[in-house]
Structures are given as C-alpha cells and as structure tokens.
Chains A and B, each alone.
Chain A
Amino acid sequence: DQQVKQNSPSLSVQEGRISILNCDYTNSMFDYFLWYKKYPAEGPTFLISISSIKDKNEDGRFTVFLNKSAKHLSLHIVPSQPGDSAVYFCAASAVDDKIIFGKGTRLHILP
C-alpha cells in the first residue's frame, strides 16, 4: 500500500512557465513533508520541506503548498529553467519515523 503517491510519472513544461508537481498521501500521522530532486545515476538532493503546522513554504523559485484536509501537497517551480529537468520525489515522515518516498515525477523543461 503506497502511503505517498505521485500519480504523474512525467510532466513537460515550457521554459519560463510554472511547473506544478503533485503528491498525495494517505497516512494522517505524517507531520513532515519533503521534496527531493534527483538526476540520473545520482542520489536525491534535498530541495524544500514543510511541516504540517504550515500550509506554505517558499524558497526562491520553489514553493511547497500543503493541504492537510485533502492530504495533498504540491511543489511549484517558477520560472522553470532547463536545469530543473530531473526526477522529483515527494517524501513524508511521521515523528521519529522513517521517510517514505513516492515513485517520483520526471520533469522535462522544454526550450
């Protein structure tokens, strides 16, 4: 049973436009959510996170939105740049528990 779901395996976005990556979760005990970026043959790199007490966290071009009632979070990247092309993993954890990853969404930024 997948506790963290990324239903879009891939997404293509024009350079300069907004990229929106979505993630749903099922475990109401999750209280911390993270986004990782991963290039081929490399390990994930931490991008941005959000605690369950917040509904928005912004860091430069990256903003994560959390909707606890819908058990949904999204990552917004604006403006999208060619270097943003990668696989993005949504992840979640409960207090002192392991991180659960989604399957990832491959983002293609088109020139």
Chain B
Amino acid sequence: GAVVSQHPSRVICKSGTSVKIECRSLDFQATTMFWYRQFPKQSLMLMATSNEGSKATYEQGVEKDKFLINHASLTLSTLTVTSAHPEDSSFYICSASVSGVVNEQFFGPGTRLTVL
C-alpha cells in the first residue's frame, strides 16, 4: 500500500516555541493531505484539509494562525504549531489521499508533541 511518513516521531519543546511537523507521501503523489489530532483515549479529530498549492481548509474551532499548514508539493505537507503551549501536547497524525477521495486515506505514523 501507499506509504506516508512523518517527522519527527516525537518532539519535546518549551512553551512559547514553534514546532514544525512534516508529512511526506513516499511512493505516490498526494493531491490532498489531512491533519488530525488525537488526545489520550479520544478519537482522531480532523484539524484541517490541505490541497497542494492552495490554502488549507480548517475545521471549526481550529485556529489557523496557531496551526499553520503548508502543502507546497504533491509529496509534502507541513504543520507548524506556533507558540506552543502545554495544552497543545497531543498526538498529531497526517494522512494523504491519492485521488482526493476522503475515504481513501493513508495515515502516517504520527508525531507525539509534548510541550513543557
């Protein structure tokens, strides 16, 4: 199946700093990438949908100025958590779709962010 990677897998940062998470589709071109967040024992919550070359579409309640998403190429999307705070500590997972079809998403391994 299609492979999606994320980097870094874990990151610990101080409050107030910014953290960038990369999501790459390794063996296919992804027209659409999705960013999710998962809190412990909770479901994956969609944060935003990004299409290559255009602005991301954010879900209600997700601050676009805090969670900057860039989808500069068909194989790379980045999520930058700006001025991170302890409440941003979470598991962030990206997924990619070849066709843009929502049901056909391949997930990355996730990034564990801990903000001290």
Contacts and interface: CB of A to CB of B under 8 A. Distances in A.
Contacts of A43: 4, 6, 93, 95, 107-110
Interface string A76-111: 000000000000010001001111111110000000
Given A42-B110, A43-B95, A43-B109, A101 B43 contact: yes
Contacts of A89: 43-44
Contact of A103 (B4, B43, B46): B43
B103 interface: yes
A16 interface: no
B105 interface: yes
Nearest to B9: A41
Contacts of B4: 43
A104 B43 contact: yes
Given A9-B41, A89-B43, A42 B103 contact: no
A98 B43 contact: no
Question: Which of B42, B93, B95, B107 has the largest number of chain A CB atoms within 10 A?
Answer: B107
Interface residues of A, number: 24
A97 B49 CA distance: 11
Contacts of B11: none
B102 interface: yes
Interface of B: 1, 4, 6, 9, 34, 41-46, 49, 59, 93, 95, 102-103, 105-110, 112
Interface of A: 2, 4, 9, 32, 34, 36, 41-46, 49, 89, 93, 96-104
30 contacts: A2-B43, A32-B103, A34-B103, A41-B9, A41-B112, A42-B109, A42-B110, A43-B4, A43-B6, A43-B95, A43-B109, A43-B110, A44-B93, A49-B103, A89-B44, A93-B102, A93-B103, A96-B102, A97-B102, A98-B46, A98-B49, A98-B59, A98-B102, A99-B103, A99-B105, A100-B43, A101-B43, A101-B44, A103-B42, A104-B43
Given A34-B103, A36-B107, 5 more contacts: A43-B4, A43-B95, A96-B102, A98-B46, A103-B42
